Amino acid sequence: MRKLLVSQVLSNANLDACQVFRTNEVRKTVSNVYAKLGTAVDINEIAFDTELDVVTSMLWGCSSNSGDFFQGFRDVEFKIIELLAAPNISDFIPVLSWFDLQGRKREMQKQKEHLDRILDSIIEERIEVNSRKIKGAVEEDGRKDFLQIMLELKDQKDGSVSLDIVEIKALLFDILTASTDTTSTMVEWVMAEILHNPDVKTKIQEELTKVIGTNNIVEESHLPRLKYLDAVVKETFRVHPPLPLLIQRCPDESCMVGGYTIPKGTIVYINVWAIQRDPNNWADPLEFRPERFLSGKWDYNGINLKFLPFGSGRRICPGLPLGEKMLMYILTSLLHSFNWILPEDEEFELSDDFGFVTKKRKPLVAIPYQRLSNATLYE
């Protein structure tokens, strides 16, 4: 499954071929925000919708807003993630384990049925198109989308890879969840830290003006030159890692780690939240200081074990190349296109809500104002 995902969706060649999807959806988002100038908008929501449209375009060739398939998808996804990390009463009162299990199963089943309806509709529509042999609907410039590749693998009788509809839906949901929730959460955290630190905001605006200018729109080619904004994003990942405990691991054989025996089958969590706030690793770790990442070699590949928000090694997050591109592109476009201020009646805070994904406890709401010199740049 991982090999299929990396080779067919997240390869450099496919990411380059899908640049048009990213450009179209981000510019559409800028235009939508422009229509709301002077009114408060939910930062997480606009980032989530943008990422969802990009990923669905990559997976089956059309964005989620092209139909009613994804009505309520954000709520379903957030509820499932909340259930995955919800505490069990039986952890404290073991005799109540049956109630825990039944309550969780009922709620999960409710969300699963909604999710099934969404994915079944998409898959059934594609199977119908295939039955009528409408080639142009499943290929663009000779390139098959990911859903088409998986359906063809399902129909292979003697192939080395065997997939059924349930596995296809599971993989699609994994991709959608992993890409949308973490990216939108990080856009929200970065924007919150920028609005909370006026000096940081000023430096970012100066860099954007110098690199892009106020009479131009953001292109992906601009992103590698935004060194200070990149440092701000990395510092946000350090302070607010989206997956504080990463994805759990389970050794196939008993092993020794740091002098401790880890028995076979043990569930192991890596607490990157603690590692990235450890005063032994970082000076003044609770201070938001992007300058830490302006010198030395820092990336997301997990080589430096003081900083590994995406994990490390062979099981590092496979979506890293797409996630990095989308996070920087959405942020740069929002920050370059608009001046953002907090509503006067909003009490601003930076506390988090612990869970499988560390979200901001109070959603970030901000007011956009025109920053570019010409209104036609928002069309």
Instruction: Check residue 141 and give its pLDDT.
Output: 53
Give the residue, 19 or 71, on which the prediction is more confident.
Answer: 19
Report whether pLDDT(355) > 90. Answer: no
Ranges 22-36, 49-63, 80-94, 256-270: which has the least confidence:
80-94
The pLDDT of residue 349: 87
How large is the average pLDDT for residues 139-150?
A: 72
160-199: pLDDT as tens digits: 667 889 989 988 888 888 888 899 999 999 999 999 999 9
Q: Tens of pLDDT along 211-252?
A: 999 999 999 999 999 999 999 999 999 999 999 999 888 999
User: How many domains does one find in the chain?
Assistant: 1
d(CA 233, CA 228): 9
pLDDT digits (tens, 9 = 90+) for 285-318: 999 999 999 998 899 999 999 999 999 988 899 8
- Predicted confidence (pLDDT) at residue 98 exceeds the cutoff of 70: no
Question: What's this model's pTM, rounded to 2 decimal places?
Answer: 0.89
* % of the chain at pLDDT higher than 90: 53
Share of the chain above pLDDT 70, in %: 91
pLDDT tens-place string over residues 99-121: 666 777 788 888 888 888 888 88
Per residue in 315-333, pLDDT (tens digit) is: 899 889 999 999 999 999 9
Question: Per residue in 25-44, pLDDT tens?
Answer: 999 999 999 999 999 999 99
- 359: containing domain: 2-378
pLDDT at 67: 47
What mean pLDDT is reported for the chain? 88
The CATH code of the domain that includes 346 is 1.10.630.10
Q: What is the model's pLDDT at position 4?
A: 79
